[in-house]
Each structure stands twice: as structure tokens, then as C-alpha cells.
Structure 1
Amino acid sequence: MKTTKKLLAPMLALSILSATPAIAANVEEPYRDPGLIQIAKVDQRYVTTAQKAVEQYGNGKSFQLEEALKDEYFVDDTTKIVRWVIQSKTRDAIVTVDADSNKVLTVSVNFELAEMTGKYAKYLPTAEAAVRQLYENADVKFEKAHFFRDETLGTNDFHFSTNDRQFVRVDAVKNEATAVFLQYKLADVDPQAVSTAGQALRLLSKADD
């Protein structure tokens, strides 16, 4: 534990004082579950349901669903849900379907910004306005958009992100920003806040000396 704290504290200090999040780089290949099978082997009722969901929320973009995985999870201590996860190989489109009722549980689709047209065109300006409102000097250029629908909760959200992991989440029902993560330049941060953060981290690094 002592070694961990001594290594973690300087990394966090660097993150805060340089306004860069301390996130480890992922250099490994994306994990592929060995249980994935081709959708030709899946009951086509589930596949049809998933395809219709993608068409409904895909804004005209073509997604090719090619593989599937059957799994289960507990929503509480006694209720178990068995579902099919049906997706494209690139995971640009993922739909989960209840194996008992054949009803959609969640829908996840990715878009390039140029594909945010028609009924989806209004959400990018909302994300950009949220950035300007919080940080006028922000250097933010969104690169992609991710849509997620949770049928159980009745929520629709867009997640606009940059290549350096800054993001804004927009509620697609209300067209309002609900979460923002921005990287601040040190010169734009209140010096007192920087000083306080630095002192706290120095205390943390010395806690086990």
C-alpha cells in the first residue's frame, strides 16, 4: 500500500497541475469474448428485433450486425435477466434483447459527426454550447458521437467525445447537457485551487513516509 500511494500521488499531482487526466494508455487489442457466435446461429426473431432497433435509432446509417453473445445478469437479489447481445464486429452497433420476451433492452450506436444530420443535428450545438458556457478558452474539437438508449429507464443520451477523452453527454429527450468533462489549461485555473490541490497531494505522498 505504501508503494502504491507513493507512485499514485505524483501521477495525480501531474494530472491536476497539468490539467490532464491520469488515465493509463490502452495498448492491448480489444477483448473479444470467446462466447461470440455468428448471428446465423441465433434464433432470427432476436436478430430481426435488433435490426429494427438499429434502423429506428441509426438515423439512416447502415450497420451490419454480424455476431452475438448470450449472457445473463441479476437486476436484484432474485430477478435474473437472460439476454442476447447482438452487435457489429466493430461494435459500432450493439443491441441487447431479452431472451424471454424478445424485447429490446438497450441500443448503442456510434456516429461520425458528419452523420449527425436530420433529427440528430440539434444535439451537437447543445454539446458545444455547454463547453463554451463552462470554459470559454477550451480547446475542444469533438470527433465522434455515441447514442445510447435504455428501454428500461426510458433514457436516450448522446455522448460527444474528443480524441483526448474530453466529453459532453446530452439528454436527447430534453436536449440538455447532463455531464461534462473538460481539460483546463493551467493558466486558466484559479491559482488558489491549484495551490490547494498541490498541498493535498503532497500530504498524500508523505502520508506513509
Structure 2
Amino acid sequence: MQPTTLTAVHVADDPLAWQRAGFTVAAGVVHLGGLAVVLGAEGEAGVTGWSLDPVTDHVDGLPVLPPPASGDDLLAGQPAHANTATVLDHLVIGTPAPDRTTAALEGLGWSVSRSAAHPTLDRAMRFLVVPTPDGRTVLEVMAPSAPRPDDRPARFWGLAVTVADLDAAVALLGPDHIGRAKDAVQPGRRIATVRGERLGISVPLALMSPRP
């Protein structure tokens, strides 16, 4: 079975908010390694859906939305971002029923690469490597360490973006708009959390140094 490809993530934010965070926005889209972050999507806040090729139905309650009209052009080249962003590193979803959600994701041809406990929260994490047009993104499934029966669907939570130069990105945004860079959970990497509420960004967003 050919694994499903993640082609876009849809976020209910004003494009100007992402421009203030150092991203280049073209026609309401942030291009990250061939994957599109579609801004201004309908919804109250945060990630409102994703585009999956060839899937069109929801996945464990996670909405699947049409890709942007310019989808065929995503591989033609990527504009440079002032914050040195390169790819979507990982997409975080939360679920009250990790086995159910994982089974739905495995139905897309994806598989769990590793599991871990969250370093500070009472949460367990499962990681799946997801094909994207120009490479791969990690999907992080986060659930209670001891889940109870719960019929609620999974939901999108946050994004992490790889940048070529994390120190330059932190300097660009400044302390009012991003936290200090610190060691990430992943060995050999660092991370800084964007203060999205001050920029008008509704989704939890972090910037990360490249993979070693």
C-alpha cells in the first residue's frame, strides 16, 4: 500500500500574523519544503484541517480539506523566509483514545516509529513519520498516560517548524515575540516557542534547529 501523503495544513490565522513571525506568505500560503500551510482557513482558531493525498474523508474526526488551488506549484520552488524556516518538522494532535487514533492513522499507511513519555506532562507520545511532497514530517500523537474510555475525536494541537538558523530567528523576532532557545526533547536539537498571542497566531508554534 502506498502511504498517504500530507500536502497541506490549514490554519485559521490572518496571513499578516505569520508575516510578522518572519514567514513569507504567497497568496495566503506559507510554503515549507513543498508542504503548504494554508492561512485564513475558516474556523475559530488553530489548525482547522489537513489535506491528504488521496484521502478526502475525515480521519478519527480530524477534518480533511481540499488542497490550495496552487497545489501543483508547491514543488516549483520555495521562497526564502526571513526566519530561515525550511520544513514543517512536526504536527501535534491530541486524542483521548490513542489506540483508536493510531489505528486510524495506520490505515493511511503510516506506522508508529517510537513512543515516549512527555518530559513534563502526564502524557504519552507516539511518533509517526508521514510522507510530504519534498520529504517527511513527524506526526506526534499525544494522549493521557492512562487513558479512560472516551468517544471524543482526536484534535489538532500545534506545529513545529525547522529553521536553518535558530539563533537568527530568535534575534529576528525578539524577546517580545519568542522565548529563548533551549534544548529540545530530541537529542542534539534546540527549540524556541513563538509567543503567538502577541503576533496574532492562534496555533501553538515552535521553531527548531535542524535535525543532526
Q: Same fold (TM over 0.5)?
A: no
- Say which structure is richer in helix: 1
Interval of TM-score (by shorter of Structure 1 and Structure 2): under 0.3
Which of structures 1 and 2 has the larger relative contact order (alpha carbons within 8 angstroms, sep 6+)?
2
Instruction: Please state which structure has a larger fraction of its residues in strand.
Output: 2
Give the TM-score normalised by structure 1. 0.25
